[in-house]
Amino acid sequence: MGKIAFLFPGQGSQTVGMGQALAQSEQTVSETFKKADEVLGESLSKLIFEGPQDKLTLTTNAQPALLTTSIAILRYFSRFGIKPDFTAGHSLGEYSALVASDAISFEDAVYAVRKRGELMEEAVPNGEGTMAAVLGMDREKLQDVTETVSAGGSAVQLANLNCPGQIVISGSRKGVEEASAQAKEAGAKRVIPLDVSGPFHSSLMKPAAERFESVLDTVTLKDASIPVIGNVTAEPITEAAEIKKRLIEQLYSPVLWEDSVTKMLELGVDTFVEIGPGKVLSGLVKKVNRSARTFAIYDAETCAAAVAALKEEEE
């Protein structure tokens, strides 16, 4: 039997009502939401379950909300005894992966990602930075475009390398607009401006990263019991010191998601279980390798189906 990786979604997957049905029927799930409320000193769970969506989507809310929902679902799924060989998460999702790998407590992670969201929001005045998804262009060509534009004085860089033909660029508004226009001229199929509040995973986030280091100084990071495939390196990491270093770098470095999936496949993973709202990552895995098996677990029904399929194999 091949190896299993647990994947955790990042910002953009949040929806009002996520995790609510499970919280109503499962104590471990409802307790996870209550614990997040306690840590933050506010009713995050009410916002998650009732909205409004625009408030939930704010970076400072979306980050702890997604982490909490993912870990609540993970705790429900964990009772069925299926264990991963690796974990990974997309950007913010890396914190859920670290909780799943015992490298950080859930409480410390909720606190850290709330602060991370605040610092990311504050790093660049609203409207001065942005992001765009570039479809149907290979990374070397797009890298050339962003380097040319940045050299001309408008900061822009590759931010999320999601799967073949889907790359997000990030930087100053002017840089992203210029790079978008040049990418189209150079043969990109489509360029879609993203509705984000800042230029995440770009050099403009370096001030936030510097301040975030002092936040990480206040939480406990331990060696991971299950290797985490990091966004910054697309390599397995387990040592606490390296985890901390990469979490700081992650704020201004590209998310090497395609490379991370490729690395897990090389390490013998053939089953990817996405835990948390939505199924964005399952779709990206399929675009990297069509024959990989994926499960997206976001409620009791999807959990039952995945457990049935995975348990059948063990017999």
Active site residues: 91, 201
Output the six-digit token pair for 209. 């990263």
CA distance 221 to 93: 16
Q: Is residue 39 within 8 Å of 111, Cβ to Cβ?
A: yes
CA distance 214 to 251: 14
Burial tier of 186 (Cβ tally within 10 Å: 0-12, 13-18, 19+): middle
Contacts of 305 (CB under 8 A, 6+ apart): 295
Q: Is residue 296 within 8 Å of 16, Cβ to Cβ?
A: no
Q: Is residue 198 within 8 Å of 120, Cβ to Cβ?
A: yes
CA distance 282 to 8: 10
Alpha-carbon dihedral of residues 10, 14, 20, 22, nearest 10 degrees?
-30
Residue 245, amino acid:
K
**Phi and psi at residue 112, to the nearest 5°:** -65, -40
Chain centroid offset of residue 5 CA: 15
CA distance 273 to 300: 14
CA distance 95 to 136: 30
